[in-house]
């Protein structure tokens, strides 16, 4: 009989703990260990949740397809170039960010977080007549090594001009190097080739946001 079994939720051990990322030992059999990196504290790890709480959990972050409706019927996907420390490059990236504690206390945490991130990373203020909605409420990034998850969102914003767009709201380690305004043709080319206009690779989240934009056109 195979020694592999489900994780014993009561035998999760903390190996390293910090403010930003912690490492845990998930024991699935006597003397057998599965290691996990997580942003969550031990008491809030996904592996420790009941089936009910697992289905009700909030994701760690929101990733947003920011679609701009411009004068003349022009529609563009707003992306940015953000410095990604593990690869040491500015990568074509969607607007995204972690849920703040205040977001979680509201009536609609995902929409609240998305509106805040749009303001911080683009300078745009979502108006009452704009639309912000959920495409996927909680998708796990790489569940073979982490329980980190994202909600994929869409924000459709109508603008008279692009004058208000800026990256002055960067916080913490965020470092930006300009925007990209993609029409359908350009977005499709990047989606199909897996490279941005500079020939560089990009994240899976970027690929997902490009797909959302193309699917809505």
- 22-40 pLDDT tens trace: 999 998 888 888 999 999 9
Helix axes 184-193, 204-216, angle to 10 degrees: 140
Fold of the CATH domain 61-216: Nucleoside Triphosphate Pyrophosphohydrolase (3.90.79)
Tell me the whole-structure pTM to 2 decimals.
Answer: 0.92
192 contact partners, CB below 8 Å, separation of at least 6: none
- With 60 as the cut, is the pLDDT of residue 116 above it? yes
**CATH 3.90.79.10 in the chain, residues?**
61-216
- With 60 as the cut, is the pLDDT of residue 98 above it? yes
pLDDT digits (tens, 9 = 90+) for 40-81: 999 999 999 999 999 999 999 999 999 999 999 999 999 999
Q: Comparing 7 with 192, which gets the higher pLDDT?
A: 192
What length does the chain have? 217
């Amino acid at each position: 009989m195979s020694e592999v079994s489900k994780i014993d939720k009561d035998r999760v051990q903390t190996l390293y703990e910090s403010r930003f990322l912690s490492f845990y030992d998930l024991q699935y059999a006597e003397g057998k260990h599965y290691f996990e990196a997580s942003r969550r504290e031990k008491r809030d790890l996904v592996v420790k949740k009941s089936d009910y709480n697992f289905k009700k959990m909030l994701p760690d972050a929101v990733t947003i397809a920011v679609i701009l409706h411009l004068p003349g019927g022009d529609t563009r996907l707003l992306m940015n170039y953000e410095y990604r420390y593990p690869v040491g490059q500015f990568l074509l990236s969607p607007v995204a960010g972690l849920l703040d504690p205040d977001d979680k206390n509201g009536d609609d945490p995902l929409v609240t977080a998305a509106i805040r991130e749009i303001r911080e990373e683009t300078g745009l203020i979502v108006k009452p007549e704009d639309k912000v909605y959920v495409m996927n409420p909680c998708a796990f990034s790489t569940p073979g090594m982490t329980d980190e998850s994202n909600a994929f969102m869409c924000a459709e914003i109508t603008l008279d001009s692009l004058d208000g767009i800026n990256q002055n709201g960067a916080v913490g380690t965020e470092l930006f190097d300009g925007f990209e305004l993609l029409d359908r043709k350009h977005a499709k080319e990047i989606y199909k080739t897996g490279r941005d206009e500079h020939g560089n690779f990009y994240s899976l989240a970027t690929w997902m946001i490009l797909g959302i934009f193309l699917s809505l056109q």
